[in-house]
Amino acid sequence: AQPARPGASTTETMALLARTTRARGLGAGWASRLLSRTAVSTVKPGDTTLLRVLSRTVAKNQAGRERRAGRVPALIYGLSQHNIPISVNAIELRPYFRRNDFYNRVLELELPDGAGVIRALPRELEVDFETMQPNYVTFLRWPEDLEKNPQMVPVPVQVINEDLSPGVKAGHFCYKIFKTWRFKVFKEPIISSIVVDAGPLNLGNGIKLSSLVIPEGHVSIPQGQLIDPTLVKVIKSGN
């Protein structure tokens, strides 16, 4: 199947899915099911999280003192502006860093003393492997004009209906080949996850990125020579 263009209409998408399902030897009814269940999930406009932050001093042992006080040392950077050392309340941060969409969810960082709010994307997270709690986090400033300054965003792959797959029912394994795939984002809202319906898959069947409808303003970023990846595939158990 040819890749679905960004912002493709429902009619175009149905035609693409019908061709895809026929090529896989599936019934016509699977096209409607794929349209409704094999889709891209997006964060609603304005669905950001306000996180209050404090300024911090970059000094010897200061990071350790922040952690003992229940705060996570952090840094705001990017857009050719100066870096801002901050700290975030560990309890307030905890529910969000455990989310699958932590790295593709724009947060609103409220600076102290009425200094304003900075929209930023979590970029790197350092975790203590003993406590599994965040040790350090960086936030990349989110531009006001994405069309002029598009950003790379990793999007998690979510697989549903594995138990309905004929291949899985026959004792085989549904293998998620990629946990995330990167997109260049030119327009909000940002994709929160790629939802892949494994329900129709038999042994040897897979679902490629090109079979999904990608929202307008999102362009897939090739990984090396891989342009149209197979995201999920049913393989023999033991492979």
Q: Identify the pLDDT of residue 60.
A: 78
Report phi then psi at 103, rounded to 5: -85, -5
Ordered strands of the 180-185 beta sheet: 39-42, 191-197, 151-160, 180-185, 218-220
Query: Residue 155: beta bridge partners?
Result: 181
Higher model confidence: residue 189 or residue 20? 189
DSSP state of 149: S
pLDDT (tens digit per residue) in 195-217: 999 999 999 999 999 999 899 99
Q: What percent of the chain has pLDDT over 70?
A: 79
CA angle 45, 50, 54 (to 5 degrees): 150
Cα–Cα distances in angstroms (integers) from residue 30 to residues 23, 26, 37, 60, 210, in the given order: 12, 7, 10, 61, 17
Give the Cα separation of 130 and 128 in Å (integer). Answer: 6
pTM exceeding 0.95: no
pLDDT level of residue 41 (50, 70, 90 thresholds): low
pLDDT (tens digit per residue) in 83-126: 999 999 999 998 898 888 999 999 999 999 899 999 999 999 99
Strands (DSSP E) contained in the chain are 39-42, 49-55, 71-77, 84-89, 107-110, 117-128, 133-141, 151-160, 173-176, 180-185, 191-197, 206-208, 218-220, 230-235
pLDDT (tens digit per residue) in 115-167: 999 999 999 999 998 988 999 999 999 999 999 999 999 999 999 999 999 99
pLDDT (tens digit per residue) in 49-70: 899 999 998 887 889 999 999 9
How many whole angstroms from its chain centre is CA 7?
Answer: 19
User: Mean pLDDT throughout 233-237?
Assistant: 95
Q: Identify the pLDDT of residue 90.
A: 95
User: Mean pLDDT throughout 218-236?
Assistant: 96
Mean pLDDT of the chain: 84
List CB contacts of 68: < 8 A, sequence separation 6 or more: none
